[in-house]
Amino acid sequence: MSAHPPPWPRMLVDQVAVDLINRESAISLIFDALTAPGPLAVASANLDHIHHFGAGDSWLDRPPAVSVDGPTADLRWLTLLDGFPLVRKAKTLTGRKWPKLSGSDLIEPILERAARDGARIGFLGGSVETHGQLTEAMDARYPTLEIVGTWAPDRSELTDMAASARLAHAIRDADVEILVVALGKPRQENWIAQFGVATGARVLLAFGAVVDFLAGRIPRAPQWATNDGLEWAWRLAREPRRLGHRYLIEGPPAMLRLVRRSRAVAAGPTDLPRAPGRRGRFVPNGIRATVTIVIVTHKSASDLHTLIDGLRLAALEHPIRLIIVDNRSSNGTAEFAPIHSDVHLIRSGGDLGYAEGINVALPLVDPCAAVLLLDPDLEVRPDTISQLLSALGDRGVGAVVPTILDRDGAIYPSLRREPSLTRAAGDAIFGSHFPSRPGFLTEIDYRPEDYATPWDVDWATGAAVLLRSTLARELGAWNEEHILFSEEADYCRKIRASGHRVRFEPAAVVTHRGSGSGTVSSLGTPMSVNRIRYVRRSHGAVYAGLFRCAVALADMLRSTRARQRIPPHLST
C-alpha cells in the first residue's frame, strides 16, 4: 500500500504483493480510508491477476498503467487474497490459514456498513439495463443505501483519455465516497491507477463482476463449488467461450509462476492507516461488551493517550469496555478522566502491583465474552483485537497472546517455557547466545520460526493477554504474592491445569514503546525471589533450592552488567 512495508504479512508472486489480512481488517481499512489522507484502491489477486500484473511494473504501490497527466502518487493499494490456488500457497508459505477475499465475498458486508454509516456509493461498469436492475435490487435489500450515481461507459470511452477524464470528473461531481469499479481485469485496475484520484472517491473497489451479481443477472457458484475450490470450473462450464482462454490458456502459466516464484514477506513495523476523526466509544458498565480491556497503570500519563486512541479504532468494530486501575500515580496519569468520559477509571489508592490491580478490576468486567489485559505503554493495531478473538474461538483455547514488537519493529522474544532446573542452568550459562539450543536448556523461546505460526505455548510475558471470560470467572483472582515476575506464569499454569490451552497468534501484533530496561542485580531482587517462589510452589523445596542456585549463578555470571533488559510488561 505504500513504500514502507505494512504491519501485516504479504505474499509476493513475482511483482504482485498480496496483503494477507482477514475480512474484518479489510473492511475496517476500507472504511477508515473514508477520512484518511489519500484514496484507497482495493483489488483482489487471483491467477488472472497474476497473469496480467505478475511480470509488469511493480505492484507494490500501484498496478502498471499508461502515464497520464494528473496526480496518481497519493493512490494507495490494498491487494487481497482471492482464488484457492493463492489461498493454499499463502498457507504453505506462512503456516497459517488465510481467508479468500474476493470482491463478491466482500461487497455485501461493505454495502451493509455503507447503508448503516451513510457512505455515498457509486457503480462504474456494466450496462444501463443492468444498472436499472441493480438499483431495484439495492432499494429492496438496503433501503437506506445512498447510491449517488451509476455509469455504464463503453470500451471506446475507457480507452479514450479525454472521455475517461470527463467520466472521472462526472464521478467527482456526484460526490462519490466508495466507487465500485466493475470493468474486468486488467482494465479496472489500470483505469483506477490512471483516473482514480481524479474521481474524488475515497475508496475505489476493483471488484469485477459484482455489478452483475448484485443485479441478479449472473448467479454465483453454489456453496459446494466455492468450498471445494471449484468456482472456476463452475463458471467455465456456464461461459466456456468467454472464460475458456482465461482458465485454460492463461491460467496454467500463472499457476506455474505462483508455484515457482512466490515468497512470504514478514509484517513491517509501520502503523496501520488511521482515520482522523473516526473513533469508537467504549460501552459503559452493565452493557454487554465483546471485550473488556483492563489496564493497570502507574505513572503512565505519557503512554495512555496513544493506547486509548488505538483502542478506539478497534471499538469501531467491537463493543469494548475499558477499565483502568491507577496505582496512585503522581504524574497526572489519572487526570485524563474528563477527556475520556467513557473510560471507567479506578483509583486504587496505593501501589498495588500488577496482579492486585487486575483483581480490583475483575468484579467489574462482566458482562463480556473476553477480557483483555494490556500494559499502558503498548500500541495496539486496529485489527489486533479481531485477530485475538478469532484465535480464542478455537475449541479448548482459554487465552491468546500476540506478537510483541519493540520500538524498532523487531520481534521481542515473549514466549516462555515452564521454568525448570535445566532451563535455568542453560539460561545462566548461555544467556541469549545459541538461541537455537534445545528447549530444555532455555526458558525463553528465541527461535524465529516459533514466532511465525500459531501454536500452543506454556506461557508468555503478560504485556497483552486475551482471556475467555468464562475461564477468567472460573479461575478467579490472580496470585498477589508475585511482584514483577511470575504472575502470568502462575496464571497460565492454572489455565493449563483447567484443561485449556494458551495460544500464540502471530497475526495479532502490539508494539511496546517503553524502554524495557531495569536493574536485575542480585538474588534478592523481586524478580529472582518470585521466580524461586513460583518454582517452590510447583516443584517443592528441594527442587526450588537447586533452582535458586541456578538463578544465583546467572546473577553472578552477569554481575559485570550494570543493567539488564526486563520483559516489556515489567518496565512500567
Would you kindly state where each structural domain of the chain is located, as residue ranges?
10-265, 289-418+439-514
d(CA 9, CA 19): 7
What is the reported pLDDT for 498?
Answer: 95
> How does residue 309 score in pLDDT terms, banded at 50, 70 and 90?
confident
Pick from 249, 313, 267: which is nearest to 405 by CA? 267
Please provide the distance, in angstroms rounded to a whole number, between the alpha carbons at the two ends of the chain: 34
Average pLDDT over residues 452-477: 93
CA 274/CA 35 separation, integer angstroms: 9
The whole-chain average pLDDT of the chain stands at: 79
d(CA 116, CA 563): 54
pLDDT reported for residue 243: 62
Q: Report helix angle 541-557 to 526-539, nearest 10.
A: 150
Residues 269/512, Cβ–Cβ less than 8 Å:
no
The neighbour count for residue 188, using CB atoms within 10 Å, is 25
Task: Select 289-418+439-514's CATH number: 3.90.550.10, 3.40.50.300, 3.40.50.880, 2.130.10.10.
Answer: 3.90.550.10
Q: Between 23-32 and 384-392, two packed helices, what is the crossing angle to 10 degrees? A: 160
| Statement: the pTM of the whole predicted model exceeds 0.75 | no
How would you class 328 by CB atoms within 10 Å of its CB: exposed for 0-12, middle for 13-18, buried for 19 or more?
A: middle
> What are the angstrom distances between the C-alpha of 514 and each of 268, 376, 414, 517?
19, 9, 15, 8
What burial class does residue 560 get, using C-beta atoms within 10 Å of its C-beta: 0-12 exposed, 13-18 middle, 19+ buried? exposed
| Number of other CB atoms surrounding residue 169 within 10 Å | 14
Beta bridge partners of 292: 321, 371
State residue 277's pLDDT score.
Answer: 47
List residues bridging with 564 in a β-sheet.
Answer: 518
Grid-cell match 475458456, residue found: 244
What does the pLDDT read at residue 320? 95
Query: Which 8-state DSSP code applies to residue 66?
Result: -
Distance in angstroms (rounded) separating the CA atoms of residues 261 and 12: 8
pLDDT at position 561 is 45
Does 532 or 307 have the greater pLDDT score? 307
| Close Cβ partners of 422 (under 8 Å, ≥ 6 residues apart) | 440, 441
- For residues 373 and 380, what is the distance between their CA atoms, to the nearest angstrom? 12
Cell of 480: 498477589
Q: Measured between alpha carbons, how far is 145 from 177 in angstroms, rounded to an integer? A: 12
Higher pLDDT, 83 or 15: 83
Binning the chain into helix, strand and coil, the percentages to the nearest 5 are: 40, 20, 40
* Alpha helices (runs of H) in 72-186, residue ranges in sequence order: 84-94, 103-117, 128-141, 155-158, 161-173
User: What pLDDT, on a 0 to 100 scale, did the predictor assign at position 524?
Assistant: 43
Report, as an integer, the average pLDDT of 8-24. Answer: 83
In percent, the amount of the chain with pLDDT more than 70 equals: 72
Q: Greater confidence, 562 or 544?
A: 544
pLDDT digits (tens, 9 = 90+) for 487-540: 888 899 899 999 999 999 998 999 987 633 333 333 345 566 666 666 666 776
What are the tens digits of pLDDT across the range 397-415? 999 999 999 877 888 999 9
Host H or E run for residue 555: helix 541-557
Model confidence pLDDT, tens digit, residues 218-233: 766 666 556 556 566 6
Tell me how far apart the alpha carbons of residues 406 and 461 are, in angstroms, rounded to a whole number. 13
Cα gap 84→100, rounded to integer Å? 7
**DSSP at 160:** -
Residue 331, pLDDT > 70, answer no
The rounded distance, in Å, linking the Cα atoms of 207 and 447 is 40
Helix (H) or strand (E) holding 235: helix 231-238
Longest CA–CA span in the chain (Å) reads 86
Read off the pLDDT of residues 238-290 as tens digits, 9 standing for 90 and up. 667 766 666 666 666 667 766 666 776 655 543 333 444 457 889 998 899 99
62 Ramachandran zone, left/alpha/beta (phi>0; psi -120 to 50): beta
Task: Please give the single-letter amino acid code of residue 294.
Answer: V
Closest by CA position to 278, among listed 111, 7, 29, 1: 29
Which of 299, 305, 375 has its CA nearest to residue 336? Answer: 305
Assess contact for 177 and 34: CB atoms under 8 A: yes
Going across the sheet that includes 146-151, the strands are 76-81, 40-45, 203-206, 178-181, 120-124, 146-151
Q: What pLDDT score does 503 carry?
A: 96
Burial label for 244, CB within 10 Å (0-12, 13-18, 19+), is exposed
More confident residue, 443 or 345: 345
What are the residues whose beta carbons fall under 8 Å from the beta carbon of 156, sequence distance 6 or more? Answer: 163
